[in-house]
Amino acid sequence: MTKAKEKEGGFAPYANEADVLQVGGLTIENRLDRITIDGDIDLTMDQAGLEHARELYQLLGKAVAKLEAQRDLPDRLAAPKVAKAANPFE
C-alpha cells in the first residue's frame, strides 16, 4: 500500500470508484461492487517479499470482512451493463 494511503486510513474495499493501489507489479482497483486485481507479483523470501505479502494479507482480510458482513450477497454478481456510445470523432 502506498504510504499516503496508509495515513488516510487505508484502502476500504467496495467503498468507492476511485482508489487504486500498487503492490509490487499488481494494480488493485476499487469499485462499489468489485475489486479488480491485475498484474503479477513475486513474493520473494526477503524483506520486500514480506512487505508485499503483508499488504496483500491486510487488503484481502478487509475484503473478506466486508463480504462476510453483507447479509444479502447474491450467488454470483451479474456482469456490468455495457452501453455503446456514438463515436464523437466520426
Per-residue model confidence (pLDDT) at position 9: 60
What does pTM read for this prediction? 0.75
Residue 87 has pLDDT above 80, yes or no: yes
> Number of C-alpha atoms within 13 angstroms, CB side, residue 26?
19
Per-residue model confidence (pLDDT) at position 56: 96
How many CB atoms are located within 10 Å of the residue 57 CB? Answer: 10
Query: Can you read off the three cell numbers belonging to residue 67?
Result: 463480504
pLDDT in tens, 27-81: 999 999 999 999 999 999 999 999 999 999 999 999 999 999 999 999 998 887 8
What residues contact 5, with CB distance under 8 A and at least 6 apart?
A: 11, 19, 21
Query: What pLDDT band is residue 83 in, cutting at 50, 70 and 90?
Result: confident
Alpha-helix runs per DSSP H in 1-90: 3-7, 47-69
Task: Name the residue type at position 85.
Answer: A
